[in-house]
Amino acid sequence: MATHDDIALEEEFAQSRMTGGLLRRLFSYTRPYRRQFVLNLLLTALATISSLAGPRLIQVGIDRHLTRWNSARDAAWGIAVVSGIYLANLLLGWMLSVMQVRSAITLGQGAMNDLRLAVFDHIQRLSLNYFDRTHQGRIMARADSDVDSLDRILTWGATQLLSSLLTLIGVVVVMVSYDWKLCLAVCTVLPPLILSTAWFHVRGREAYRKIRGTLSRLTAATAENISGVRVVQAFGREAENFRRFTGLHQDYADRWVSSSRIFHTYMPLVNLLAGAATCIVLGYGGSRVLSGDMTVGALAAFVLYLGMFFGPVQVMSELYNTMLSAAASAERIFALLDTQPQVQDRVGAPPLPRLAGAVRYESVRFRYDTTPADRWILDDIEFEVPAGSTVALVGHTGSGKTSIVSLLARFYEPQSGRILVDGHDIGAHTMESLHSQLGIVTQENFLFTGTVMENLKFGRPSATDDEVVAAAKRLGADAVIRRLAEGYQTKIGERGGTLSAGERQLITFTRAMVAEPRILILDEATSAVDPETERILQHALEALFERRTSFVVAHRLSTVRHANLILVLAEGRIVERGTHDALIAMGGTYSKLHAEFVRAV
């Protein structure tokens, strides 16, 4: 199991890699919106040109109508015309900016939405072995905070980069055309600007790397404590967990303070250099005006263009930091998207026909990814179950019971051997055609947020309300459901927390019945309820078992005594098989397990 420190190390390592290929793959999500992308770049270019025209109009107004005029009336008229043109240019720039913003938001949010959907869809399709070895907090971070961190780069990245580059190039060209000597004098501030920018990039990258590592630990700790809140309260660990969380949060806050200090040291330094450059322009440029080598309007325009030069430098520095964040997040997201499901359909795999339910295991051997190489969870499993039979799997914890039914459901693939249903190798057919004919009820009895009716139709959304009610009546669940606040329309809280264990279990049994499975799997389905509730559920079990093949994994042997076949497992092997009475008469492992169960009851 990965620790929080392991997660932090992965976050920092990912932050250190940024490639053009990674960013190209990220921006590939803008391809469906290429028209908006091209329009956005065109509008950005036009808006930048409009802003570059402003100082030039001011120069014309000063040089042609304020410092050189024949009459006050002509000067006033000239200034009015230039002012009108300047105002029209401002309005044009504003209109272009509004259109550009709308286009950028459409583009960015569309790409963000597509990426988020791709991540969610892929997570649902990953095999269970991925979730076995991956911390829940990491998965949540990929689908949530990592996707969110791409917002600025996808929405504004191309726009800000193009605008900044065009502005810088345009400003330099215009300033050189005004006075190359004055432009060269301004360049004296470039060495400290370049050095300070390089320092900011290095220190900023390091600071952000540490922030991401700390944030990942914080996210993982939050998810873990929310998932385990019952255990926390049961053992009175609230104060200790709060102390640990406070330490993590303080570390996160300290990282942010450190990062902010770096950022807010660099930006004032850029402003200081901009002020120094302005002083150079006013001093040296003023002397050139007095000597007649430069006009007052040109000097004024030069000062304005100089102010436009340092703005893009700041924007690109911020954009660089954002690109670091985006690249790190994108790398982790694409690592998730590149993770292939361990279990997937073979190329050209046909669907299974409607099944009768005869199941056969042939020399099946299996181990999990986390299992030591010298140990098998299941070792040479062989048995056959006729269609419509009920088979029970019993044994101590860790004997391999759940692994057997997990392989039947194709949650995992065996390393060797095969599983046949009605003579069909399930590994050679599509998973959808298998899962559509399976019904599974687990110990967790997981329910989704929504109404009772919506949960009951989860396995077969096409079922009508009447079909659902008929299934509930057959299982004896209808009366229980109607006693709820709003009957079948009762809202269920997260994980069904507003219902009792027995109510949740009855609903999950009914959900399985509504799905009309050909093969039913009950994995410790009654272990979470008390014996009295279990006796009430026996009627539901009998109805579920009718005319379908059923696999029952159970510690409580009261639920398996009527099974057609009982398989007793120990250390991944079938050590005994037979009916309840035959196994009791044998006096072996099952007989001992049954005696332990009777004493416990």
- pLDDT of 528 reads 57
Pick from 322, 392, 380: which is nearest to 564 by CA?
392
Q: Mention every residue, 6+ apart, whose C-beta is less than 8 A from residue 162.
A: 41, 44, 45, 48
- Asked if residues 224 and 231 have their Cβ atoms less than 8 Å apart, the reply is no
- Token code pair at residue 427: 């590994």
Buried b (16+ CB within 10 A) or exposed e, 562-590: ebebbbbbeebebebebebeebeeeeebb
Interhelix angle 72-125/296-337, rounded to 10 degrees, is 10
pLDDT 10s digits, 116-167: 999 999 988 888 888 877 777 777 777 877 888 888 888 888 888 888 888 8
Whether the predicted model's global pTM rises above the 0.85 cut: no
d(CA 158, CA 537): 61
Domain 4-337 CATH assignment equals 1.20.1560.10: yes
- pLDDT of 68 reads 67
Q: Which amino acid is it at 229?
A: V
- pLDDT of 12 reads 46
Q: For 222-326, where are the E strands, in sequence order?
A: none
Q: For 406-540, where are the E strands, in sequence order?
A: 416-421, 424-425, 438-442, 450-451, 491-492, 519-523
Interhelix angle 190-227/238-280, rounded to 10 degrees, is 160
- Asked if residues 92 and 48 have their Cβ atoms less than 8 Å apart, the reply is no
- pLDDT of 1 reads 39
158: left (phi over 0), alpha (psi -120 to 50) or beta: alpha
69: left (phi over 0), alpha (psi -120 to 50) or beta: beta
Residues in the chain where the model's pLDDT stays below 50: 1-17
- pLDDT of 144 reads 79
Q: How far is CA 316 from CA 45, 312, 361, 370, in A?
A: 16, 6, 62, 45
- Which stretches within 66-127 are classed as H helix? 72-125
Q: Mention every residue, 6+ apart, whose C-beta is less than 8 A from residue 419.
A: 359, 360, 361, 362, 364, 407, 408, 425, 426, 427
- Token code pair at residue 212: 């991401």
- Asked if residues 3 and 10 have their Cβ atoms less than 8 Å apart, the reply is no
- Domains 4-337 and 344-437+519-601 agree in fold: no
362 forms bridges with which residues in the sheet? 418
Cα 397 to chain centroid, rounded: 34
- pLDDT of 355 reads 92
Q: What's the fold here for domain 344-437+519-601?
A: Rossmann fold (3.40.50)
**DSSP codes of every residue in 208-227:** HHHHHHHHHHHHHHHHHHHH
Q: What's the fold here for domain 446-516?
A: Rossmann fold (3.40.50)
- Asked if residues 552 and 522 have their Cβ atoms less than 8 Å apart, the reply is yes
Query: In the chain, what are the domain boundaries?
Result: 4-337, 344-437+519-601, 446-516
